[in-house]
Amino acid sequence: MDFSAGIAFFFGQLGRLFFSLGSHFSLTSLAAALVISALYFAWQRHRRGRRIRLKTIARALFPRRIMRSRSNQADIFYLFFNVFMFGVLFGWAVLSYQFISNGIIAGLIALAGPVAPSTWSPYLTRSIITAMLFLAYELGYWFNHWLSHKVPVLWEFHKVHHTAEVLTPLTNFRVHPVYGWIFANILAVSAAVANGVGNYMFGETAYQYAINDTNIILVLFIHAYVHLQHSHMWISFRGLAGRIFVSPAHHQVHHSNNPKHFDKNFGSCLALWDWMFGTLYVPAKEREPLVFGFPGSANAHTVKGELVEPFVNAAGHLKPALKPAAPLAQRKQA
């Protein structure tokens, strides 16, 4: 059998993941996260009057308990597994995005008639559509995340992400393929609606500012601190900032197995939707004691536990709904 096409596809995906500036896991964004983390630890030591040593900073950045944990090793597997799977799933989502976006524009024209092309500056219309698509991404992310926690069948697939017992940027890849497919298509719908409405408003096609097809605002957030959300870096945004932006501490709280943190902080970059819908938890300035994962889960970090069992558990939730209803006479007797 000739595996050359599959191998070429895999390494092509890997290249786009690391070397594309618009990638959510680009080397430039990882380097930015590393620099910010190093500066943060150096500042922490300086504030406490301690010497700043490169060796000490390196140990703080890459603690052995995290690097050697089974959870982190499983995340490495997920990285390579999902590099292939996400490429396939994202391809499906692009098709639905184009179809829905064109359908929204056609529907609006049918309902309200065509709109004359805007006389605004192209820079202004592109800036507006860029902001609209970013907000649509954030809303789609929030809605998908909220659904995944609230619907038992969907939770079984999303729970895979929450089995992580330590958090690193690699934990971002710890997702079940079913969750990834649902997530990609919900994002496609939310972005398509925003794109269709925006282009109808302007009466012509307006393109967002993007880097390698990724919204430039999202790229900036990824390079600023998104990687630190899955890390041991406790950086908490407080006050108004804590109600607008999802700090690293916000998302670490989301992973906590403390009941007071359950179903909080569903946002990606913005906390606005959490604030609006009552799911916001603003973390304390100083580190809160957090424990991640599900203690006692025998199959955590295994292929059986992370990829197979979610189907079994989801089927268990669906079984009562699919069970044929008893005849009316029997129900009356009961």
Each residue of 100-114: pLDDT tens digit? 998 999 999 999 999
Q: How far apart are CA 20 and CA 278, in angstroms?
A: 36
Left (φ > 0), alpha (ψ -120 to 50) or beta: where does 96 sit?
A: alpha
pLDDT tens digits for range 57-74: 999 999 999 999 999 999
Q: Average model confidence (pLDDT) for the chain? A: 90
User: CA-based Rg of the chain, rounded to a whole angstrom?
Assistant: 22
| N-to-C CA span, the chain | 61
| pLDDT at 4 > cutoff 80 | no
Q: What is the pTM of this model?
A: 0.91
> 332: pLDDT confidence band, cut at 50, 70 and 90?
very low
Beta-bridge mates of residue 245: 270
Q: What does the CA dihedral 245, 158, 149, 233 come to, rounded to 10 degrees?
A: -30
State residue 334's pLDDT score: 44
